[in-house]
A and B are shown apart, each in its own frame.
Chain A
Amino acid sequence: MSRILRKALAVIAALALLTGTAFADASIVSPVADSVVYSDSLLISVKLTGSENVKVTVYQEYYESSPAVYELQEIPEDEAAAEAAKTVSETPDSGVETVAIPEDQEAPKEGSEAVPSEETGAGKAPAEETASEKTPIAENAPAGTESGEPAGSEATEEAPGAGNGAEDAAEQEPGEPELIKVLIREAEYSPYDASALSAEDLSLLSSGRTEDASGEALTLSDGSGIPELSDVVFAPAVSYKSDSEVGFYTKQLSVQPGLYKVSVESRSGSSHCFVAVKEKQQEEKPGIFSGGAQKSGAFSFLRNMLRSLFR
């Protein structure tokens, strides 16, 4: 009987543990999803229900303000291998780099825009202090393969922040000069200007949709198309664990105007929300109180006199 009782208690305890885990949840309280904030500080508040471990990351959204420029150059065969072996640091001033061209990606036409890789998700951040940071996704991105392999193979080199995106050089007959893709200018990324975004625009960006049901391209409220945004880590991922039934992770960040994304990852899933930080306009604020003490002097005099008589 005692063995049965012990087993029953163990089952009940296991069920309680699983129930607590199953119903654990994390939700973003602040900022309000798809909201606009007029402040130089941003409050992050995440509510954890149940014993939960979360990772909170804040990204700032960047867009490609200037595309990368490539051109195809001919290099004699014997120089191709030596060129491919060069690292970026050896040719810092030449503005010429050799880049990896995975097989499954097409080579851009000469002078065309570069296609940023989806894996890195991090464009070239203009701020130096973030240039060396890697997003959690970027940290797990597959590194470029080893360089030094014979020409014609996938000679690759990892250029920080540089987008990859061309396929292997066209096959050449032995002895002929080899075509290689040369990066002339890297893509430039700038913080996305959120000053024109409305709450509806933010909802649209959150949905991830670019076309409506009829296949027409969706546009923002100002008529522009849905931008391609890149996440750049603004506040590195922070892990937080709550052991109680209800707990909160709170943090305040100093921000500049722009578009930010708060991402919360937990065992039960992940969620994110966009928030547009705008600069408060210095124009005349509309009065929030109508009327007020705009009484005429004669009226107030009569009123005070009557009050004093009957006081």
Chain B
Amino acid sequence: MRSALIEKIKVVIIVVLFITTILLLYLLWSPGGRGIGFSGFGGRSASSDAPTGAGLLRAEYALRSSGSGSTELSYDADGVFAAAKEELAGFLAQSYAESSVISEQQYELAMRDWPSVSVGFGCGLPLNGVLSLIAPESQLLRTADVIVDSIAFSDAAPDSVFARDSGSGSHYRFIFGEPRESVDKLSSAFGDNSYPAYTARDLLGVGSVFLPLGSFSELSDMPFGAADGSKEVGTDAARAVFGDTFSFVRRITDSFGNVTYMYGYGEKNLYLYAEGAIEYRTTVSGTEASDFARDLDAALSFAAGCGGLRGDEWKALRLCGYSESGIRVHTRNFSFAQSVLGVPVYGQSGPALTVTVSGGAVTGLRREGIDPGTYTPGENRAAASPANVIANNSNHIYNILKGSVLAPASDEAFDFAAKAVRSLAPGYYADPSRKLLVPAWVLKASGGEMFYFDLYEGTPLGYTR
């Protein structure tokens, strides 16, 4: 009798252990399970000071069409984008949504012949990622795995949201169950600081991007210094990456004052440059299946953990570039520009912060912020005509994008340059030789390259590949 009872107890224990094993396997290893978050070997956990991805998602420009042939463009698009997010959230709260691909002609008719408002991001972003940032609780359109660089609303279809990817020339319409008065709400959020705008096809004869006919600005040169590149910040970044003990980590300092931290035989490297830039690279990528929103949060958490940007400095950042690659291991590159006086700042090496996330883990980071000096407003004067900025510098753009040193035929260079333009907006270029922030037209090409031209003279200042 006693032995039978003992046997029964053993059976119960084995069954409980078996079930516990199954549950633990599900929790730790399944994609739908919570798992246990690893922040890489060594390093601190995610910083609680990091901003959210939704907070850094901003519109570069807004377009409003009257439906009678006139279009206005505004670079002060925060108010319109806030209204657009409200409308998107309202649509996503409905129970039904359908996706369809429409032709470029249909899209342009909807935008031109009916009152419409659109907001542009200045770079291509995954639509499902953007919608998950705006309405995380909604599951509508989560399978819409397309890249878009603008979102629009039109009275041609009040029950729909339109989107476009000017890089691939794709146009989409997302149809919801109930119509909304989106155009009226966005139109009322449009500010007074807008300019008549036309497509590049109307102005130049070729191209699809909207360009202002002319604009005015008060931006003037501003001195700047490197962001906080102190030793303390560098050490904090190193501790965030390698842990407090710096086990198996070597520290190398060169004669220029650049410091390199290397883990093992180079599996993880942290470079602290003398001028204040920080760069991190690792050959070890993650293995998680991830999505845009989670990778974006991981990027921001890692960047916050490395220190150097605090409080209000985070608010000045804006998502300005994105690219993705890889099939088995998804790799995403996020670029964040620092804003000064409401316009983004770009340096010779590009935006202030770029982070690479591969398989859910950060595999690369470069931070080169600037500390703006005293600003003296300039007089309100006319900026260089965007049409002539493209036309006059078409040879320069062609040679850089093609990697050619020979002067091409002017028509060939012009057609190529006009078609390659993805966006043109005002910003600041941080001239490293003069240590000045120079007002500039920032031209983004379809391949991610960026060109900077003087805002008032239209002359080339630099470029970033």
Task: Enumerate chain A interface residues (CB-CB to B < 8 A).
Answer: 29-30, 37-41, 43, 45, 47, 49-50, 244-248, 250, 252, 280, 285, 287-289, 292-293, 295, 300, 303-304, 311
Contact = CB atoms under 8 A, between A and B. Distances in A.
A292 B162 CA distance: 13
A244 B387 contact: no
Interface in B171-193: 173, 175-177
B410 A304 contact: no
A39 B70 contact: yes
B159 A293 contact: yes
A100 B15 CA distance: 121
13 contacts: A30-B198, A38-B68, A39-B69, A40-B68, A41-B196, A246-B410, A248-B388, A285-B156, A288-B156, A289-B110, A292-B160, A304-B95, A311-B139
A43 B202 contact: yes
Nearest to A248: B387
B230 interface: no
A29 B175 contact: no
B384 to A, nearest CB: 12
Nearest to A41: B70
B177 A293 contact: yes
B392 A244 contact: yes
B203 A304 contact: no
Contacts of B157: 289, 292
Q: Give the top 3 A-B pairs by smallest Cβ distance, nearest first.
A: A39-B69, A293-B175, A245-B410
Interface of B: 68-70, 95-96, 98, 102, 106, 109-110, 113-114, 139, 156-157, 159-160, 173, 175-177, 196, 198, 202-205, 213-214, 385, 387-388, 391-392, 394-395, 410-411, 414
A33 B198 CA distance: 18
Contacts of A287: 156
Nearest to B414: A246
A289 B106 CA distance: 8
B1 to A, nearest CB: 51
Given A246-B392, A293-B177, A285 B203 contact: no
Nearest to B458: A244
Nearest to B108: A288
Contacts of B203: 29-30, 43, 45, 248, 250
Contacts of A40: 68-70
Contacts of A245: 394-395, 410
Given A245-B395, A246-B394, A30 B202 contact: yes
A246 B95 contact: no
Contacts of A248: 203-204, 385, 387-388, 391
Contacts of A293: 96, 98, 159-160, 175-177
Nearest to A280: B68
A212 B244 CA distance: 93
Contact of A29 (B95, B113, B160, B204): B204
Given A246-B411, A285-B114, 7 more contacts: A29-B205, A30-B202, A43-B198, A43-B202, A247-B391, A289-B106, A295-B96
Q: Which residue, A40, A49, A245, has most C-beta atoms of chain B within 10 A?
A: A245
Nearest to B392: A244
Nearest to A30: B202
A280 B69 contact: yes
Given A246-B392, A248-B204, A304 B96 contact: yes
A45 B202 contact: yes
A53 to B, nearest CB: 15
A40 B157 CA distance: 24
Nearest to B96: A300
Contacts of B102: 289
B173 A252 contact: no
A38 B114 CA distance: 12
A259 to B, nearest CB: 17
A30 B196 CA distance: 15
Contacts of B177: 293, 300
A20 B66 CA distance: 42
A262 to B, nearest CB: 14
Contacts of B387: 45, 248, 250
Contacts of A50: 410
A40 B410 CA distance: 34
A300 B176 CA distance: 11
A41 B205 CA distance: 18
A273 to B, nearest CB: 14
Q: Which residue, A29, A295, A300, has most C-beta atoms of chain B within 10 A?
A: A29
A304 B388 CA distance: 52
A38 B68 CA distance: 7
Q: Which residue, B110, B160, B202, has most C-beta atoms of chain A within 10 A?
A: B202
Contact of A288 (B109, B196, B391): B109
Contacts of B196: 41, 252
Contacts of A38: 68-69
Contacts of B213: 43, 250, 252
Contacts of B176: 293
A280 B196 CA distance: 19
Nearest to A287: B156
A252 B70 CA distance: 10
A268 B139 CA distance: 62
A41 B391 contact: no
Contacts of A303: 96
B169 to A, nearest CB: 18
Contacts of A292: 157, 159-160, 175
Contact of A39 (B68, B96, B160): B68
Nearest to B387: A248
A30 B213 CA distance: 13
Given A250-B203, A285-B114, A288-B110, A41 B69 contact: yes
Nearest to A300: B96
A150 to B, nearest CB: 59
A287 B158 CA distance: 12
A238 to B, nearest CB: 14
Contacts of A304: 95-96
Contacts of A244: 388, 391-392
A285 B385 contact: no
Given A248-B203, A250-B213, A285 B394 contact: no
